[in-house]
Amino acid sequence: MKSSFCSLLCSAALLLSDVLATYHQHHHLSPGDPRLIAAQSYAQTRNNGRPPTRTLNPAKTDSQCRSRPLDLVFIIDSSRSVRPGEFEKVKIFLANMVDTLDVGSDATRVAVVNYASTVKIEFLLKDHFSKPDLKKAISRIEPLAAGTMTGLAIKTAMNEAFTEQSGARPRSRKISKVGIIVTDGRPQDQVEEVSAAARATGIEIYAVGVDRADMTSLQQMASIPLEDHVFYVETYGVIEKLTSKFRETLCEVKVEVVEDPCKCEARLAFQKQTQAAIQQLTAKLAAVSGRIERLENMVGRV
């Protein structure tokens, strides 16, 4: 009995060491590493039971702020369920978002991926570096009609829109990569695994659901914490009011603030760097718990 208990303690120690090694070595995992994707999926599943949606306050904020530099890709649903008038409201939302950003080759770059049953990259991150040019390009976007292939759209954005060839800055520049998905329906393909793969490459995903949008799918797509990355509005008629919420979310620093006494930006940077490691640890600890439980059962039978 004593020997079995010692074995249990030794095994637990080795497993804990394995977990800590995972934490210290997370920077050495490649973005597409299956372990990182699996950890993303596991962490997402753990969070899906929590209340995900941030309550929309229609009041706009008048405070001026400067958005941090981003590689920002909008992924917009233009399936048959989105009526022409509603799609125009989505375009107004995109144009209003552009107005709140510091757009430029050295600031925020913007791309748009349009999808239905097919996917069309309307323009790339390298195509437009001024607000007038971006808004003109947005005004020319036309709906694609049938189907809701959201997973395919996310995969296209990851493999084609967020690449250096398409205008995304190199990883060494540490420019945040953000995807904002707007949809009113249920995906006709799988979104969980492809979204986990996208997040594992460092893409932060926001999911905006409108009207009949499937909440489970929104949760599977978005980054965690879900309460900060999943939004819902009842109609396209009020989607423009999300602009102020995203302005707060993407705001870097208030213009009138001279310094950052709370070190909020440093804290945010630290949180982003450790998020992948924490999600890996969550998956690893679940495996550890299962193995320890099996060892305890073995000891109990001795």
* Whether 12 and 93 share a structural domain: no
In angstroms, the CA 1 to CA 13 distance is 18
Supply the pLDDT for residue 167. 97
Shared domain for 150 and 51, answered yes or no, is: yes
**Among candidates 198, 187, 232, which has minimal Cα distance to 77?**
187
Could you tell me if 80 and 217 lie in one domain? yes
Alpha-carbon radius of gyration of the chain:
22
Domain span at residue 153 reads: 46-254
pLDDT of residue 59: 38
Q: 247: pLDDT confidence band, cut at 50, 70 and 90?
A: confident
Tell me: do 205 and 246 sit in the same domain. Answer: yes
Tokens matching residue 181: 């998905």
Task: Determine the average pLDDT of the residues in 88-108.
Answer: 94
Q: What average pLDDT does range 192-213 have in this prediction?
A: 94
Residue 234 CA neighbour count, 13 Å, CB half? 4
Place of tokens 């049938």: 146
Q: Is 263 exposed, middle or buried (0-12, 13-18, 19+ CB in 10 A)?
A: exposed
Least confident window among 47-61, 93-107, 133-147: 47-61
198 shares a domain with 120: yes
Question: What integer pLDDT is reported at residue 161 of this predicted model?
Answer: 97
Count CA atoms closer than 13 A to 171's CA, side-chain side: 7
- Overall average pLDDT of the 101-128 stretch: 96
CA distance 42 to 282: 8
DSSP 130-189: SHHHHHHHHHT----BS---HHHHHHHIIIIITSGGGTPPPGGG--EEEEEEEESS--SS
Residue 41 lies in a domain: no
Report if residue 260 sits inside a domain: no
State the Cα–Cα distance between residues 191 and 262, nearest whole angstrom.
37
In the predicted model, is pLDDT for residue 40 greater than 80? Answer: no
* Same domain? 116 vs 237: yes
CB neighbour list of residue 189: distance below 8 Å, 6 or more residues apart: 149, 150, 151, 152
Both 250 and 274 in one domain: the answer is no
Average pLDDT, integer, range 273-285? 65
CATH assignment of the domain containing 168? 3.40.50.410
d(CA 76, CA 143): 10
Give the pLDDT of residue 60: 38
Number of domains into which the chain is organized: 2
7 lies in the same domain as 55: no
- Mean pLDDT check: name the lowest of 136-140, 143-147, 252-256, 264-268: 252-256
207 φ/ψ sector (left φ>0, alpha ψ -120 to 50, else beta): beta
pLDDT for res 58: 37
* Model pLDDT, residue 188: 94
Report pLDDT for 293. Answer: 75
Reported as a pLDDT band with limits 50, 70 and 90, residue 298 is confident
**Top-ranked range on mean pLDDT: pick from 228-237, 256-265, 282-291:** 228-237
Confidence of residue 277 (pLDDT cuts 50, 70, 90): low
Is residue 90 one of the residues assigned to a domain? yes
Same domain flag for 169 and 288 = no
Q: Are residues 62 and 201 in the same domain?
A: yes
Q: Which residue do the tokens 């707060």 mark?
A: 248
What integer pLDDT is reported at residue 273 of this predicted model?
56
pLDDT band at 251 (very low <50, low <70, confident <90, very high): confident
**Looking at the domain assignment, is residue 264 inside a domain?**
no
Q: How confident is the model at residue 122 (pLDDT cuts 50, 70, 90)?
A: very high
Q: Is residue 201 part of a domain?
A: yes
**Within this chain, do residues 94 and 125 fall inside the same structural domain, yes or no?**
yes
Q: Is residue 38 part of a domain?
A: no
Task: Please say if the pLDDT value at position 106 is more than 70.
Answer: yes
In this prediction, residue 19 has a pLDDT band, given cuts at 50, 70 and 90, of very low
Residues 6+ away with beta carbon under 8 Å from 47: 219, 224, 225, 226
- Confirm whether 261 is domain-assigned: no
Judgement on whether residues 102 and 245 belong to the same structural domain of the protein: yes
Tokens 């949760």 found at: 219
Q: Is the pLDDT of residue 256 over 50?
A: no
- Whether 207 shows a pLDDT value over 90: the answer reads yes
Determine, yes or no, domain membership for 35.
no
The mean pLDDT value of the chain amounts to: 78
Is the whole-model pTM more than 0.85?
A: no
For residue 14, the model assigns a pLDDT of 52
